[in-house]
């Protein structure tokens, strides 16, 4: 128990350190003392504009999206009993992508509608996957196969929209790559009020998730409505991932990397796993965003590219480790 609390404290400290670096470093470095002065309302005009209007919303976006995607991934991996599962496997990314492409085609000048379209598209995609899985028997493999099939269909829909409405590509490209540039605090507020309650609800259901990990038959023998609980948990995961995607775009691998690393550090206790995954995802996204700004400064690498370059080798390592029979 002490080790788990110590791990959470270390993750919180590292996240705080990464957050300080995110506010201080960039194209225009600002000493940490001046950053603190700005946050206290005593900074200079130029520093205040940089920190409050550019870097602080960007940092908040990284913390929110990282925590939401990682916690969503941890829930999905637990429900499906698959350490290689991630939010995209239940239709979040493809549903959000299709809705965004349609929004960009129908209203190319209404960029403010894109976050709402992405969120609703993500939820619609997940609900359709769950509906098909329920009709087909609700087995774990059925859920995965339904997600794969619908993701392929939605991807074809995106290609069709972009073919017939090429102007939609301008708005869709940034969403597809993913990132937290040009965010404002006002844009983050709706996502915050989805992510915070969903995180708290997921933590409150951690004991039930532990029982669900024992198997459906065992959970039902203990009086747990396993089928209903699985649907509730998957909808929470969809809400978390959909809210993150609504402002950060299609950021991959956060929902895969963070939960898997935390599971190796803390084991299968769902409460600590969910809490650590949220912190780990926030840390991962903040660190990658900082690297995206500093690696080729003054030029900036898209955050989605940095995440893919980081996550792809890790995913390959997981596959090779699983093939050798070492488990994941």
Which homologous superfamily does the CATH classification assign to the domain defined by 2-323? ABC transporter involved in vitamin B12 uptake, BtuC (1.10.3470.10)
Q: Measuring CA to CA, which residue among 224, 221, 201, 222 is closest to residue 278? A: 201
Distance CA 277, CA 70 (A): 5
Q: For residue 298, give both structure tokens.
A: 């003054």
Residue 68's contacts (CB-CB under 8 Å, 6 or more residues apart) are 191, 195, 198, 199, 240, 241, 243, 244, 278, 281
Mean pLDDT confidence for 74-97:
84
What percentage of the chain carries pLDDT values higher than 70?
A: 95
| pLDDT, tens only, 111-131 | 778 888 889 999 998 888 888
Q: For residue 273, give both structure tokens.
A: 């796993």
Looking at residue 280, what is its pLDDT? 94
The pLDDT mean for the chain works out to 86
What percentage of the chain carries pLDDT values higher than 90?
A: 27
Say if CB 129 and CB 76 are below 8 A apart.
Answer: no
Q: For residue 75, give both structure tokens.
A: 């829930």
| pLDDT, tens only, 9-65 | 999 999 999 999 999 998 888 888 898 888 888 877 888 888 898 899 999 999 999
pTM over 0.85: yes
Q: Where are the domains of the chain?
A: 2-323
Looking at residue 328, what is its pLDDT? 46
Distance CA 102, CA 81 (A): 34
């Amino acid at each position: 128990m002490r080790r788990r609390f110590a791990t959470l404290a270390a993750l919180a400290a590292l996240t705080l350190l990464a957050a300080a670096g995110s506010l201080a470093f960039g194209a225009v470095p600002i000493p940490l003392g001046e950053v603190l002065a700005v946050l206290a309302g005593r900074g200079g005009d130029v520093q205040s504009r940089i920190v409050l209007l550019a870097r602080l919303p960007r940092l908040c976006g990284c913390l929110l999206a990282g925590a939401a995607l990682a916690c969503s991934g941890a829930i999905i991996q637990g429900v499906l009993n698959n350490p290689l599962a991630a939010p995209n496997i239940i239709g979040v990314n493809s549903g959000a992508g299709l809705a965004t492409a349609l929004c960009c085609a129908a209203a190319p000048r209404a960029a403010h509608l894109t976050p709402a379209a992405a969120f609703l598209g993500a939820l619609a995609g997940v609900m359709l996957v769950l509906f098909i899985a329920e009709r087909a028997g609700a087995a774990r493999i059925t859920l995965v196969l339904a997600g794969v099939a619908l993701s392929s269909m939605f991807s074809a829909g995106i290609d069709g929209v972009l073919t017939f409405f090429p102007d939609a590509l301008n708005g869709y490209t940034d969403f597809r790559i993913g990132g937290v540039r040009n965010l404002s605090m006002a844009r983050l507020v709706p996502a915050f009020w989805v992510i915070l309650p969903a995180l708290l609800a997921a933590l409150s259901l951690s004991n039930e998730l532990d029982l669900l990990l024992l198997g459906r038959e065992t959970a039902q023998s203990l009086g747990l409505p396993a089928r209903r609980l699985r649907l509730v948990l998957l909808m929470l995961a969809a809400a978390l991932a959909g809210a993150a995607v609504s402002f950060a775009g299609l950021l991959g691998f956060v929902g895969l990397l963070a939960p898997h690393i935390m599971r190796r550090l803390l084991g299968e206790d769902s409460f600590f796993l969910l809490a650590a995954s949220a912190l780990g995802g926030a840390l991962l996204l903040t660190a990658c965003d900082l690297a995206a700004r500093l690696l080729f400064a003054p030029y900036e690498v898209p955050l989605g590219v940095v995440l893919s370059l980081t996550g792809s080798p890790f995913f390959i390592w997981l596959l090779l480790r699983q093939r050798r029979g070492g488990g994941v």
